[in-house]
Amino acid sequence: MSQIAVATTSQLAADAAEEVAAVGGNAVDCALAAALVTINTEPGVCALGGSAFITIWRADDDPVTIDGNVAVPGAGLTPDQRGHGAVRVNVAYGGGITTLVGPGSIAVPGTLAAIEHAWKRYGSAAWGDIFEPTIRACRDGFPLSAACRYYLGYSRDCIFNRSEDGFAALHHADRTLLGTGERVIVPHLADSLGAIAEDGARVFYEGDIAAAIAGHCQDGNGMLTLEDLRSYRAIERAPLVVDVGDWSIASNPPPAVGGSVLEAMLLACADLPLDGWTSSALSQLIDSQRACLDFRKRHLDFADDVASEAARLIEAARSGRLLTRWTSASTVHTSVVDNHGTGCSLTASSGYGSGEMPAGTGLWLNNCLGEIELNRRGLDAGPPGSRLPSNMAPSVGRRDGAVLAVGSPGADRITTALQQFLINYLLLGMSLDDAIAHPRVHVDTSGEVIKLMAEPGLDLPPVDLPVNVFPSLVMYFGGVAAAVYDSASGFEAAADPRREGGVFVSGA
């Protein structure tokens, strides 16, 4: 039996990883089991009808990233049938966001294809065993997490009232929203998961569930077709690899932008003083974020060739040219390592949620076409089948005798949260817990005015930006989950205090 360490979104998910390890699952099996729980038991925050990236690095093998990102829909449609069926809504969450919801905001889901691909390529447990903890939780009901309750408090009326079954799952009979810790049972969800556990992902992409999803979208004037679902495939990609201290870190490559931005941020801080977060060190950190996120907004978001623009960003960071211009921008995550030296890091998202749930499926669908700040090309975002932009950056690191799996939710805060964790843990020598809990900064480039967001407890340098210091550590700054196996010292796992999280360590 494999021994594992897992850090993930909830204790329910960590327990699922423990359960699969007990029946012979390896790090990949356990990561998939835990991720399925987080994806299906965090309503509003994530859902199976979205996107996922999985980075896996086994000992004595090359790393790989499995791309299960959402894709542009519309296969078989005429030009005049594209770009319809979405509704603009304003949500007060996070200081205020504008997003598009409804059938027209739904991109082709890739999460389940990535999970099945990873299991077929790397798994050792039975497919049904990986699904069993999730099916049980969805059949018996699961507690509404604080993070979900917080988000739904803002989004239930403008997003999650669009489905009769979805609304019923989240509300009392008197139509008031469930409270934190109250039990959620999503009608039909356990049945859909059971069908997938029995027949594989094909039922989602080719069978009855696929027909229900495509029919629902077409009835709502959306673009997702049955041909889109049937033709979707997860893609194996060679990760980006960057050296940090004596570690090598593998992360998400283009066409996603998250790994490239993270690598550039780390390279821009390569000569950071190793005496802690002084005002001078924070100034360099802020400059690195500002330059990299501005480059992403100006060049990567609209690039026809993301790989070449990403290479230009990384080279500019490596050479030191990147910072010279600044002398005058919702997800769940699971990290698992095992005693065989395998690391598996999985990040999944469904955007802000479309609010759409095809009747009889229990499956909420994404609004990734409608994430205006990320998909800046609009609803008709490119040829059908092309991948949408993503900030997700699930990462696995190695050095002699040790493996680290790490990632974070948090939209465009994913890369800045991981940058600061990796500097804290790999360069500044903080413990795993302290490296995650240490206060963070984030340069917010999402609006017309660039702002510096910060948590309390930092010696901030003078900056030529508006500064917003939060009163405490908050989930806005991400939710890093990290697990480490060192052949000399054993296992360690830690989850971010900014979000509810769960950990399990074999033998602990």
CA distance 145 to 10: 8
- Could you tell me the two tokens for 475? 């989930």
Residue 385, φ and ψ in degrees, nearest 5? 100, -20
CA distance 93 to 74: 30
- Look up the CATH architecture of domain 237-333+397-488: 4-Layer Sandwich (3.60)
CA distances (Å), 495 to each of 336, 432, 434, 500, in order? 12, 9, 11, 8
- Please classify residue 501 by burial: count the beta carbons closer than 10 Å to its beta carbon, then call 0-12 exposed, 13-18 middle and 19+ buried: buried
Nearest to 101 by CA among 366, 404, 431, 440: 366
> Can you spell out the DSSP letters for 131-173?
HHHHHHHHHH-EEPPHHHHHHHHHHTTTTTTS-HHHHHHHB-T
Nearest to 130 by CA among 14, 2, 16, 3: 16
Element (H, E) at 494: strand 490-495
Express each pLDDT in 114-172 by its tens digit.
Answer: 999 999 999 999 999 999 999 999 999 999 998 899 889 989 888 999 999 999 999 99
Alpha carbon of residue 401 to chain centroid: 28
pTM for this prediction = 0.94
Alpha carbon of residue 91 to chain centroid: 20
The DSSP code for 86 is: -
Coil/strand/helix, residue 397: strand
CA distance 388 to 342: 29
Express each pLDDT in 425-482 by its tens digit.
Answer: 999 999 999 999 999 999 988 778 899 999 999 999 999 999 999 999 888 898 999 9
Domain residue limits, the chain: 4-50+68-235+349-370, 237-333+397-488
Residue 405, φ and ψ in degrees, nearest 5? -115, 135
For position 326, what pLDDT does the model report?
35
- Could you tell me the two tokens for 37? 């729980």
For position 318, what pLDDT does the model report?
81
- Could you tell me the two tokens for 493? 């796992």
Element (H, E) at 88: strand 87-91
Query: 198-228: buried (b, 16+ CB within 10 Å) or exposed (e) per residue?
Result: eebbebbbebebbebbbebbbebebbbbbbb
Q: Over the Cα atoms of the chain, what is R_g?
A: 21
Q: pLDDT tens digits for the chain (508 residues)?
A: 789 999 999 999 999 999 999 999 999 999 999 999 999 999 998 999 999 999 999 998 999 999 999 999 999 999 999 999 999 998 887 667 889 999 999 999 999 999 999 999 999 999 999 999 999 999 999 999 988 998 899 898 889 999 999 999 999 999 999 999 999 999 999 999 999 999 999 999 999 999 999 999 999 999 999 999 999 999 999 999 999 999 999 999 988 888 999 999 999 888 888 788 999 999 999 999 998 888 888 788 777 788 888 888 888 888 776 654 333 336 899 999 999 999 999 999 999 999 999 999 999 999 999 887 777 777 877 899 999 888 899 999 999 999 999 999 877 789 999 999 999 999 999 999 999 999 999 998 877 889 999 999 999 999 999 999 999 988 889 899 999 999 999 999 999 998 888 999 997 7
Dmax (CA) of the chain: 62
- Rounded to 5°, angle at Cα 1 from 347 and 28: 15
CA distance 234 to 389: 15
Alpha carbon of residue 219 to chain centroid: 29
Nearest to 360 by CA among 205, 201, 164: 164
